[in-house]
Amino acid sequence: MDVHLTLGAVGERTDGIYRQLSAAIIEGRLAAGEALPPSRALAATLGVSRTTVAVAYDRLAAEGFTVTRRGAGTFVAEARASGQARRAPHGRTVTARPVWAGRTVPSTERAPAAFDFGIGIPDPALFPLAAWRRQVANELQLGSALLNGYAHPPGLPRLRAAIARHVGVSRSVRAGADDVIVTSGAQQAFDLATRVLVGPGDVIAVEEPGYPPVRSLFESLGATVVGVRVDEHGIVVSEIPPRARLVYTTPSHQFPTGVRTSLTRRLELLAWAETANAVIIEDDYDSEFHYGGGALDPLQSLDRAGRVLYVGTFSKTLVPGLRIGFLVAPESLHQPLAVAKRLSDWHTDTVTQGALARLLDEGIFAAHVRRANRVYAGRRERIIEGVERELSRWLDVVPSVAGLHLFAQLRADVPLRVTAVTDAAAAAGVGIQSIARFAHNEDSEQARRGFVLGYGAIEEASIDHGLRRLRDVLTRLT
Ligand SMILES: Cc1ncc(COP(=O)(O)O)c(C=O)c1O
């Protein structure tokens, strides 16, 4: 590896090389076992004689910083290497704007519970790995988009066309290829849309309880965020502040309560947006998985005025690690959104885009979703039946018609806070999550009594056992 060294005055050069290399070893910038450059090569790079370098190397070896292996070179010795990770300088000189204070990144290293009813991730075992590997290999051919320099920011034309067809057929979204912008997950779609539409101090309405990363994003961009209650028909439109410039909503499967926004409420929301001159972001994050009960048209396809930005993601249908989502936007926003995408990350990785286009075009994606839907339907049914059989003394479950989780509530006559239940369940190896995590107002009825049961992570065969353990926990607590 090239080592960066600065040369001092003539006469101090050997000493300078020794000091800089020993410091790099002590501070962990050079790790145990790492090779130093051959003395001849380093001398040539620095424009000094080979002896100058060789004397410094001898001193390093004599003091145990390096070991020399004949014919192989000089290596950092185990004994003197710091073993510390390389760190930037400490200090509090540079600080972030106050809006970032207290915001933390959730850990991805949680130990899974023995019975994991966690939400947010699909079952990785269902991912069509062999097909994906084949499509990625196809994308790595000579002449592929990867080797063609920067790509067009809104996405590869064939992927935009494939997504437009996919959402047109599966969700009746009205979109041509030009209306689609490929993003790094749904999260980037929210970011681009907000930066294009909203300025500091503007009011954004979000559902309460709701999806925290979006609320936090809006706040970080300087917006004033107002939570709006969700009832059994969806977001309560009459409570949206009239000054709201933007409304973020999850009508197909409200996150986290699972409510599907009724048709009347959908039309009311669209009419409200018209009157208030506001824009709606429709987050349709997991409704490719559905379980009867009749899907309703998305706001995007009911909208006649071009006020809805429809956001989708492949995080649930495939896996979140791909970081691929999309935005369907009215024509008036095509150009600013394309520029915002370019300013953000230029474009989404072309190998992933190309492979996904192939998966969609060859019908592999649709077949995968149908198969996964059957698996999830079985798990969902099992949870609903199990809760009714084992847990109906304590819980009511809301059998929502889409997605990868169910919402449940402690019955009004159960004298427990839901967090006491989730803590005791965790100790018993049952992973369930309280709604309080997703509520800005932790004292609301939903936050105090509600929790979510996901079925992305748990196999059908483990569900009954997990619910019986939960029953034992509740019996003990009450
Ligand atoms: C409400 C909601 N929207 C969107 C997403 C997907 O986000 P992304 O595509 O950035 O992974 C999730 C994932 O958990 C979600 O819960």
| Each residue's pLDDT tens digit, 8-36 | 888 889 999 999 999 999 888 888 999 99
Is residue 92 over pLDDT 80? no
| Each residue's pLDDT tens digit, 180-212 | 999 999 999 999 999 999 999 999 999 999 999
| pLDDT in the model for residue 292 | 83
DSSP string covering 150-219: SPPTT--HHHHHHHHHHHHHHH-----GGGEEEESHHHHHHHHHHHHH--TT-EEEEEES--HHHHHHHH
| pLDDT in the model for residue 51 | 95
| pLDDT in the model for residue 83 | 62
Is residue 258 over pLDDT 70? yes
Task: Work out whether the CA dihedral 175, 358, 170, 312 comes out positive or negative.
Answer: negative
| pLDDT in the model for residue 85 | 58
The residue ranking higher by pLDDT, 112 or 474, is 474
Helix H, strand E, coil C: the string for 324-358 is: CEEEECCHHHHHHHHHHHHHHHCCCCHHHHHHHHH
| Ligand 1 shell residues, CB under 6 Å | 120, 185-187, 211, 250, 255, 283, 285, 313, 315, 320, 325
Nearest CA owner, ligand 1 atom 14: 120
Strand pairing category for 430-431 and 115-116: parallel
Helices (H) and strands (E) in the chain, counts: 15, 16
CB 146 within 8 A of CB 307: no
Is residue 369 over pLDDT 90? yes
Rounded distance from Cα 197 to ligand 1 centre (Å): 20
Is residue 308 over pLDDT 80? yes
Atom of ligand 1 nearest to the CA of 121: 14
| pLDDT in the model for residue 172 | 94
Rounded distance from Cα 2 to ligand 1 centre (Å): 42
Amino acid at 398: V
**Global confidence as pTM:** 0.91
Give 7's pLDDT tier (boundaries 50, 70, 90). confident
Is residue 461 over pLDDT 70? yes
Nearest CA owner, ligand 1 atom 6: 186
Rounded distance from Cα 60 to ligand 1 centre (Å): 53
Atom of ligand 1 nearest to the CA of 324: 9
The residue ranking higher by pLDDT, 437 or 166, is 166
**Across residues 92-101, what is the average pLDDT?**
87
Residues of the chain with pLDDT > 70, as a percent, come to: 98
> What 3-state class would DSSP assign to 3?
coil
Rounded distance from Cα 186 to ligand 1 centre (Å): 6
Is residue 176 over pLDDT 80? yes
Domain spans of the chain, in order of start: 13-76, 115-120+367-477, 127-362
| Each residue's pLDDT tens digit, 120-171 | 889 999 999 999 999 999 999 877 888 889 999 999 999 999 999 999 999 9
Is residue 2 over pLDDT 80? no
| Each residue's pLDDT tens digit, 32-91 | 999 999 999 999 999 999 999 999 999 999 999 999 998 889 999 987 776 665 666 676
Rounded distance from Cα 315 to ligand 1 centre (Å): 7
Nearest CA owner, ligand 1 atom 5: 285
| Domain covering 127-362, topology | Aspartate Aminotransferase; domain 2 (3.40.640)
| Each residue's pLDDT tens digit, 374-428 | 999 999 999 999 999 999 999 999 878 899 999 999 999 999 989 899 999 999 9
The CATH number of domain 13-76 is 1.10.10.10: yes
DSSP 298: P
Atom of ligand 1 nearest to the CA of 187: 10
| pLDDT in the model for residue 240 | 98
CA distance 216 to 263: 29
CA distance 378 to 404: 12
Pick the CATH number of 115-120+367-477 from 3.90.1150.10, 3.55.50.30, 3.40.1180.10, 3.40.50.300: 3.90.1150.10
| pLDDT in the model for residue 359 | 97
Rounded distance from Cα 449 to ligand 1 centre (Å): 24
